[in-house]
């Protein structure tokens, strides 16, 4: 439509905003990756505004979901219980329930995410 086309053209002219957003994502993605790896997660390299990661299994009993309590079955559930929604990638072809994706946000939101993620992981252990 005409209005959508005008909006798209105007957005293309916003190079300063785009550059600031790219720098924010780059900086915060790097910080998040380091924090998440520090929690024992495997974080894949990314150039996007999201982070794809996998839980590491430490023992045979952790791999067997039958030995877990219902509230500790997934990192998704543990984070949701604490007010953070992460994207389970279990329905992606070739992946299982250990794979997740999160969006890179500003530092305050990323710090909250890391705090909740750490708490969720501790609650599951």
Whole-number pLDDT of residue 73? 63
Whole-number pLDDT of residue 69? 44
Whole-number pLDDT of residue 75? 92
Whole-number pLDDT of residue 88? 95
Q: Give the H/E segment covering residue 53.
A: strand 50-54
CB of 50 closer than 8 Å to CB of 103: yes
Whole-number pLDDT of residue 19? 93
Instruction: Report the chain (125 residues): mean pLDDT per 10 consecutive residues.
Output: 89 88 97 97 96 77 44 79 94 95 97 95 81
Backbone φ and ψ for 74, nearest 5 degrees, come out as -140, 150
Residue with tokens 């559930």: 77
Fold adopted by 2-124? 3.90.1150
> Considering the entire predicted model, what is its pTM?
0.78
CB of 28 closer than 8 Å to CB of 106: yes
Q: What is the DSSP string of 76-89?
A: HHHHHHTT---EE-
């Amino acid at each position: 439509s005409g209005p959508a086309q005008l909006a798209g053209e105007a957005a293309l002219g916003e190079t300063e905003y785009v550059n600031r957003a790219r720098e924010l994502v780059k900086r915060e993605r790097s910080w998040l990756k380091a924090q998440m790896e520090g929690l024992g997660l495997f974080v894949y390299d990314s150039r996007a505004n999201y982070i794809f990661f996998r839980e590491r299994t430490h023992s045979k009993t952790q791999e067997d979901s039958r030995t877990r309590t219902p509230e500790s079955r997934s990192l998704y559930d543990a984070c949701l219980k604490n007010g953070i929604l992460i994207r389970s990638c279990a329905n992606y072809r070739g992946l299982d329930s250990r794979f997740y994706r999160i969006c890179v946000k500003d530092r305050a939101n990323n710090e909250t995410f890391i705090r909740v993620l750490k708490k969720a992981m501790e609650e599951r252990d």
